[in-house]
Structure 1
């Protein structure tokens, strides 16, 4: 199982796709999931992202596990045999690992299907831009599933291998960026009072 997960991770690492362009990644994952015969297999908007549902057919909790599948616009300079083959795109945030882990978990679920409730495995696109989660949540087909619990992981370099790091409260908060443009006015050194420096604002 571990070797299969490693092989999958290397495959994903070699052919990364940017947020909103994960067509081939989605197709590859969908093909793997289809072999596991889930009760439902559905792609997201425009064929980006996919979820599989293993349904016991009995009442019970609906539990979702999620992994992100997109890469970053960064060129990979490593000499790894599975280094990115897509110029200017690489998995520098570990989403190839997240996806491989969830795909390996899918194999275990297929062999040991839930005895009650449903299990949803979501491979989410466009995590890096923040658009993917919004698109999934706005998808009417996905909204029919109504999960009771959602779980996700993120790799954490620097911790012992095969360990899980958990804590109470917020763990992986979302973030958003901003651009601040400051405009000054030049002046001669002998007349600094006629200038306007943005330096104090930047400080």
Structure 2
């Protein structure tokens, strides 16, 4: 098992803070993608794909032998269009935008995997995918429909997400579906208008809404 050094952990912590401070929302992750690409190049990725499904980035780490399965590990690039209310020294510097779902941590941890891949696997290849537009639900489909996907397409794909409340270092695992994507819901209420002087003649949807 590869274990990161104290210096590597400090580097990843600083990267996470930097990403947290400069969040970009879905479809606008150009600078984040460039920052991640620089890290991957510095860590010796054998190949890097840019512009995958938008601003997505994928990096290949080839095994010492070419034959073998392709394993993909996936995280996300985007933040949320929500103002961060925080006193953190590295809180969002962009008004109305924040990494409030942990994607900054996901990116930093996957860069940590890239550090470990300096020791290449014996066979196959590892793909690290930094997916765009996860928060809107559009990014995954855009990645799969991208022409570059034919070169990336893995035999096995793994995605993960932080879960607040889990003990440090613990990994939750289950077979089958475990996380539902965001789902919308529309509720239509019909009322009856009335003059303000006679509200008793109207039917207000207010109580149902509350």
Cα offset for 1:182?
Answer: 2.4
What count of residue pairs does the alignment treat as equivalent? Answer: 199
Distance 1:162-1:46 versus aligned 2 partners, 3 A rule: closer
Cα offset for 1:196?
Answer: 5.2
For 1:144, what is the secondary structure of its paired residue? helix
Distance 1:51 1:137 in 2: 12
Distance 1:101 1:18 in 2: 20
For 2:148, what is the secondary structure of its paired residue? helix
Structure 2 gap segments, 5+ residues each: 1-7
Match of 1:85 among 72, 78, 93: 93
Cα offset for 1:197?
Answer: 5.5
Aligned: 1:117 with 2:124: yes
Cα offset for 1:166?
Answer: 1.6
Aligned: 1:145 with 2:170: no
Matches within 5 A, 1:7-26: 7-26=14-33
Distance 1:45-1:169 versus aligned 2 partners, 3 A rule: closer
Cα offset for 1:144?
Answer: 2.4
Structure 1 segments, 4+ long, off by >3 Å, are 187-190, 195-203
Match of 1:156 among 137, 140, 163: 163
Q: Which residue of 2 aligns with 1:67?
A: 75
Contact 1:26 1:47 in 2 (8 A): no
Distance 2:44 2:84 in 1: 36
Contact 2:53 2:146 in 1 (8 A): no
Aligned: 1:107 with 2:115: yes
Computed over aligned residues only, the root mean square deviation of the Cα atoms, in angstroms, reads: 2.1
Q: TM-score, normalised by structure 2?
A: 0.86
Contact 1:59 1:117 in 2 (8 A): yes
Match of 1:76 among 77, 84, 92: 84
Contact 1:64 1:122 in 2 (8 A): yes
Distance 2:96 2:204 in 1: 37
Contact 2:53 2:139 in 1 (8 A): no
